[in-house]
Amino acid sequence: MKLNEKNEKMTLASKMVKFIETRLHHTGDYYGVLFTLEDWQEDYIRQLFKTDEDDTPINTRSFLLIPRCNGKTELQAAILCAVLFLLCNKCQRNIYSAAGSREQAGQIFDAMASMIRQNRILNKLVTILDSKKLIRLNSNRSTYRALSKDSGTPHGLRPFYTVIEEVHTFPNTNLYSAIIGGMAKCKFSMLNITSTAGIDKSGLLQEEYNKAKKHLNGTEVLPNYLPVIFESEDGCGGDWHDKKEWYKANPALGKYQSLKTIEEAYHEATLSPASEWHFRTYHLNQMFIGRPKSFINEKQWMACEKEFDKESLKDVDLLIGVDLSRNNDFSSVSILTEKPDVNGNYYFWSHTFVPYEISRRRMERDKKRWLIWDEKKLLTLVGGKGDEVFNHQIITDFIVELGKTHNIKKIGADPAAGAGAFLLQLRDTHGFDVGFVKQSMLSLSPATKQLEYLILSKKLIHDGNEFVKWQMSNCEIRCDAQANIMLDKSKDSNKFDTIAALVNCVWLTLTQPEVSYFEV
């Protein structure tokens, strides 16, 4: 694998380092600045491209586990550029980056294209096709292409070098299997798997992580394999409160990763389970620590209790969130002031409707508490003995009555459970501004995080309703790999309809009239 007659005495690793530091420039915040490798980056490249006596790389498979914001994507883009110009210039070869989403796949391509375009000489040697996420050497048609699950399963691959980016986001093994199958057709091929910590204990990341740990601790050393792991090990002395662990997991900390940013993330992590999980997983690479479950604890919720006069809010614009059941379960109406007062506070109260028979069955398990709630009019029991369903008209009437004394600005409801007819009546008969609140992770995550912020900052004032306190204690959340969160409705026994309706209210505070507010 002779590369350059003038540099025959240089090792392949040295050529890669020299090319990156003399030909390429940073992207993003350091755009235009000549690429300078940190010590850990240079050491990683020298290990990755260490060669045998025939100048052939020894390590055909590698695994890099490193937290977010440590320059992983830019480093992989620089390496791919070096591979394309140094290792693909004599023979026609194909190199790839692969990711779980089109957006992630595009990030490495965009970084590569930016690096090449900043160098006039390199830019003349290639054709860059942005629409196809492809870069082609003009001399011999060697190509780099970005792949994602959205590209379908690419058959017929013959990859010389492949980077699999953020393997923890891969929804299945189809793309991975296509790459591995293509590698088997090649006389020589290299695979570089990179990732941040993940949450799926049965996926590709778990498999690769276990393999890497066994190799590093010497229990199962694999030939031609290079694992590099930066992590604060949970349960192995990795105290996430200790700054030493932060530096251990983040080699770029204090350099091009701001210590202030990590400190702010840590502060948020001390306030809520969701933020703690996000900090430990994505900033410290603590693997598979489990998703957070609880949303807001009782102490945090009750710290927002304050007596207030609902009659004093008659001239204030209100938002109504509705969590509607299919006539045989809890249905809740939550009311929230649209804008904060002079002290930055929002005011919230609610009412829930429960079919008599449903409440009776729950009373059998906890009779005393339910009788108190009923006596205090904290909820409304609908129907009589034997009634398991009720007509949504009673909720419509409640909202209409409230509208006679207060200014209702908008009403939002879950599209399910017959909400269409319910909202149409409120709009067409009573003239309210209504719409659906889409119940997806992507849609509700900003509102759920905003609600969490309002509670933790004591900016959400409520009246201490004991029924609502019980429902808040039932709230669990689920997260995805992108750190989006939403209330977990998978357990039917966990009743938190009032809080779900409140999330709908908060969603309305974040939504501009021209976007995302769906007419019925």
Three-class secondary structure assignment of 191-238: EEEEECCCCCCCCHHHHHHHHHHHHHCCCCCCCCEEEEECCCCCCCCC
Residue 3 in domain: no
Residue 2 in domain: no
DSSP code at position 234: T
Query: Going along 210-330, which residue ranges are E strands?
Result: 225-229, 317-323
Q: First vs last Cα of the chain: how many Å apart? A: 65
CA distance 210 to 193: 14
**Same domain membership, residue 429 and residue 286:** no
> Which residue in the block uniquely carries the two structure tokens 């009412």?
351
Return per-residue pLDDT of the chain as tens, 520 residues. 333 434 446 899 999 999 999 998 888 778 888 999 999 999 999 999 999 888 889 999 999 999 988 989 999 999 999 999 999 998 999 999 998 888 888 899 999 999 999 999 999 999 999 999 999 999 999 999 999 876 665 677 889 999 999 888 887 788 888 888 888 888 889 999 999 887 666 578 888 999 999 999 999 999 999 999 999 876 455 688 899 999 999 999 988 788 998 999 898 888 777 788 888 888 998 886 666 667 888 889 999 999 999 999 999 999 999 998 765 678 899 999 999 999 999 999 999 988 776 656 655 555 557 777 878 888 887 765 554 456 788 899 999 999 999 999 999 998 876 788 888 899 999 999 998 998 888 899 999 999 999 999 999 999 999 999 989 988 888 877 677 889 988 765 568 999 999 999 999 998 643 333 444 4
- For residue 116, count other CB atoms closer than 10 A to its CB: 25
- Split into its structural domains, the chain has a count of 3
- For residue 350, count other CB atoms closer than 10 A to its CB: 26
**Same domain membership, residue 219 and residue 73:** yes
Bridge partners of residue 411, in order along the sequence: 320, 434
Q: Report pLDDT for 518.
A: 44
Residue 4 in domain: no
**Same domain membership, residue 466 and residue 349:** yes
Q: Which residues of 137-148 are buried (b: 16+ CB within 10 A; e: fewer)?
A: beeeebbbbbbb
**Same domain membership, residue 169 and residue 244:** no
CA distance 501 to 82: 53
Nearest to 179 by CA among 198, 192, 166: 192
CA distance 141 to 94: 9
Predicted model pTM = 0.68
**Same domain membership, residue 491 and residue 366:** yes
Residue 465 in domain: yes
Q: Report pLDDT for 407.
A: 95
Residue 206 in domain: yes
> Which residue in the block uniquely carries the two structure tokens 């025959």?
8
Q: Report pLDDT for 216.
A: 93
- With beta carbons less than 8 A apart as the criterion, state whether 316 and 349 touch: no
Q: CB within 8 A of 377, min separation 6: which ones? A: none
> Which residue in the block uniquely carries the two structure tokens 């949303």?
295
CA distance 48 to 40: 12
Residue 35 in domain: yes
Bridge partners of residue 435, in order along the sequence: 412
Q: Report pLDDT for 309.
A: 93
**Same domain membership, residue 116 and residue 146:** yes
Residue 8 in domain: no
DSSP code at position 485: E
**Same domain membership, residue 97 and residue 161:** yes
Q: How far is CA 162 from CA 96, 179, 188, in A?
A: 5, 8, 12
Tokens encoding 9: 């005495």
**Same domain membership, residue 394 and residue 496:** yes
Rounded to 5 degrees, φ, ψ at 213 are -65, -40
- With beta carbons less than 8 A apart as the criterion, state whether 412 and 321 touch: yes
**Same domain membership, residue 395 and residue 451:** yes
- With beta carbons less than 8 A apart as the criterion, state whether 208 and 167 touch: yes
Residue 457 in domain: yes
**Same domain membership, residue 350 and residue 287:** no
Nearest to 419 by CA among 331, 496, 317, 350: 331
CA distance 222 to 120: 42
- With beta carbons less than 8 A apart as the criterion, state whether 232 and 286 touch: yes
Domain-ending residue, one of 246, 262, 292:
292
Domain-ending residue, one of 213, 230, 247:
230
Q: Report pLDDT for 4.
A: 40
Q: Which domain holds residue 53?
A: 13-230
Q: For the purposes of burial, counting CB atoms within 10 Å of the CB of 57, is it exposed (0-12), middle (13-18) or buried (19 or more)?
A: buried
Nearest to 334 by CA among 353, 316, 354, 352: 352
- The Cβ-side half-sphere exposure at 505, using a 13 Å CA radius, reads 30
Residue 58, domain CATH: 3.40.50.300
Domain-ending residue, one of 270, 292, 314:
292
**Same domain membership, residue 343 and residue 259:** no
Q: Report pLDDT for 515.
A: 35
**Same domain membership, residue 473 and residue 355:** yes
CA distance 165 to 148: 10
CA distance 469 to 457: 18
Q: Report pLDDT for 519.
A: 47
